[in-house]
Structure 1
Amino acid sequence: MKTIINTALSQYGVTELVGQKHNPVILNYFDKIGHTWVATDETAWCSAFTNWVAMQCGKEMSHQLTARSWLKVGTEIEKPAIGDIVVFWRSKKNSWKGHVAFFIGYSEDKKYIYCLGGNQNNQVNIKAYPIYRLLGFRHLNNSNIQNPTQ
């Protein structure tokens, strides 16, 4: 079975295209998880990427495009391992906006969480997020649905 972190890393560097063209790889994330109506890589895609990686690995998915939807998937945990889900708030804590990515580790001073995710500065990369924006960690369980792409 494919591991979450290796699957996500296989997409490292995938970037939105500037202008009228749209990256077909990003559009494929939406298409494969059932959001075929998305036609632009400017549509927020962190959750689409996370769903796509989870699907590739036979793990539970949120099936939604909102980052905070991941707070209801898998098992809530306090001490994440590499590849677990990290959900952050964006704009303000009680907003619907957020960001979702895969846990890599903490900064040495424990003030930042390094994450591998999609739509981080418009690409798949590893980025540090301030710990005060953390909403939660989740561990993804195996899905009961067979992945037709494996």
Structure 2
Amino acid sequence: MSQLINIALSQYGVTEIVGSEHNPIVLNYFKEIGHKWVTTDETAWCSSFVNWVALRANVERSNKLTARSWLNVGTEIKQPKLNDLVIFWRYKKSSWKGHVGFFIGYTEDKKYIYVLGGNQNNQVNIKKYPAYRLLGFRRLSPINS
């Protein structure tokens, strides 16, 4: 299942275009997962990116554009591995806002979690997020064709 990380890494560096232009690669993430109505790369796209990677890997998807939708997909796990999803809250824990990406690992002191994801500083990259904002880890299963 290293397929998820490999697919996500193949997009490393994809970045929003500042201004009235929009990156066609980012717009294609929305299009391929069935959200053709999205016409701007300013639309939050972390969940779109994870759905796109999951579609390519033929694993479970949320099919939604909200990060927290991933809390209802796959299997909840306590000890994450490479390829598992990590979901965080944004602004406040009770908010609907969040962030989702692929778990890479913890910092040595366990205070931060490294995440490979989309829309991280407006691009696909690896970034660390505070562990106290963790909502959960999920493991996605293959879809039987």
TM-score by length of structure 1 reads 0.95
Task: Find the counterpart in structure 2 of residue 136 from structure 1.
Answer: 136
**2:34 paired residue number:** 34
Say if 1:2 and 1:128 are closer, same or farther in 2 by CA, change over 3 A.
Answer: closer
Distance, in Å, in 2 between the alignment partners of 1:110 and 1:91 is: 21
- The one-letter code of the counterpart of 1:51 is N
Aligned to 1:75: 75
1:88 alignment partner, SS class? strand
| Stretch moving more, 20-29 or 1-10 | 1-10
Corresponding residue for residue 123 of structure 2: 123
Give the Cα–Cα distance (whole angstroms) in 2 for the partners of residues 49 and 2 of structure 1: 17
Give the whole-Å Cα distance in 2 for the aligned partners of 1:11 and 1:90: 24
* Structure 2 portions without partners, runs of 5+: none
Q: Which runs of 5+ in 1 are unaligned?
A: none
SS of residue paired to 1:54 = helix
How many residues are matched?
A: 145
CA distance in 2, matches of 1:18, 1:131: 30
**Runs (4+) off by over 4 Å:** none
TM-score, normalization by structure 2: 0.98
Residue 52 of structure 2 corresponds to: 52
- Work out whether 1:92 is the aligned partner of 2:97: no
1:14 matched residue in structure 2: 14
Distance 1:2 1:132 in 2: 27
